[in-house]
Amino acid sequence: MSLVTSLGYVVVSASDLNAWREFGERLGLQENTDDVNQGPAETLYFRTDERSWRLAVDSGPDGGLVGLGFEVPSRAALDELGERLESAGYPVKVVPELAVQRNVLAVLTTQDQDGVPLEFFYGAKLAKEKFVSPRGVRFVTGDQGFGHAVVITADEAEALKFYGGVLGFRESDVIRIGEATAHFMSPNPRHHSLGFAAVPGLSGGALQHVMIEVDDLDDVGRALDRSVEAGVTLAMSLGRHTNDQMISFYCVSPSGFHLEYGWGGRRVDQQSHVIGYFDQGSVWGHRHSPATVR
């Protein structure tokens, strides 16, 4: 049983914060400047629901993953998780000043087997004002958390031990395409809150993409139109995934990693789910853009 309830937030870095302001607005994210605490670096805070923020962008190098923030329900759960991580060989730090910056009651930090920076917290601050998207969209959060993130791993066996064994995430399914393998995990009904992919030639620890989900398919289409009209580079065209059945497109964020914008993600029954296996990522669409193929 996992002590984690969801992926509560994601923190990344970028050299051009104004580009992120425009990018976030086109996707319907609401910037919060009123009831958040700034840290040592200038930071943008974006809302998707009643929380004071869900996605933060620090001023810094492009492509940087500052932290994946996983939520637990209480101080007791945070302390227990810290002990579990230490016992498994993952040293943790309790950082009071970081809790202030993240607008949470307490946070501890560690790294996974690939060096991915992880933050575990409880007591996220609620915003004073109602969430109002500048594009009128509603995001799917609640018991499913912020969305999902996918990272690259150099050792899928160790990643499975950590996320499945130490953190107790449910494995939803596996996709194998050629020599690449991806595992999809979650502590809640969202099909996956975290994915990790072992890809020959890629070193572990990099953020591949972040996903945010809306509750109306038309809002995906509108966001796609706005992105194309603004000259945003598309990483993958509109398509539907095999595993979580989400209809989505991928665009390149100002930080350089990909952002998936989707609708219709599958919810998973925690008790009855049986792990699936796929040899393709999409039922249709999701064609790679030549500009993003390496």
Residue by residue, DSSP assigns 35-53 as S----SS-EEEEESSSBS-
What is the structure's pLDDT at 294? Answer: 40
Distance CA 128, CA 35 (A): 7
pTM of the model: 0.96
Cβ pair 267, 189 in contact under 8 A: yes
Sign of the torsion formed by the C-alpha atoms of 44, 257, 149 and 281:
positive
Those residues of the chain that have pLDDT short of 50 are 293-294
Residues 6+ apart with CB under 8 A from 79: none
Amino acid (1-letter code) at residue 136: G
Q: Which residues pair with 118 in a beta bridge?
A: 68, 110
Phi–psi pair at 220, nearest 5 degrees: -65, -45
What is the structure's pLDDT at 292? Answer: 56
Q: Is 14 left (phi over 0), alpha (psi -120 to 50) or beta?
A: beta
| Domains located in the chain, CATH noted | 6-124 (3.10.180.10), 142-292 (3.10.180.10)
What is the structure's pLDDT at 293? Answer: 43
Residues 6+ apart with CB under 8 A from 269: 189
Distance CA 270, CA 11 (A): 28
Q: How far is CA 87 from each of CA 93, 109, 157, 222, 243, rounded to the nearest angstrom?
A: 14, 15, 19, 48, 34
In the chain, which residue ranges form alpha helices assigned H by DSSP?
17-26, 75-87, 96-102, 156-160, 217-229
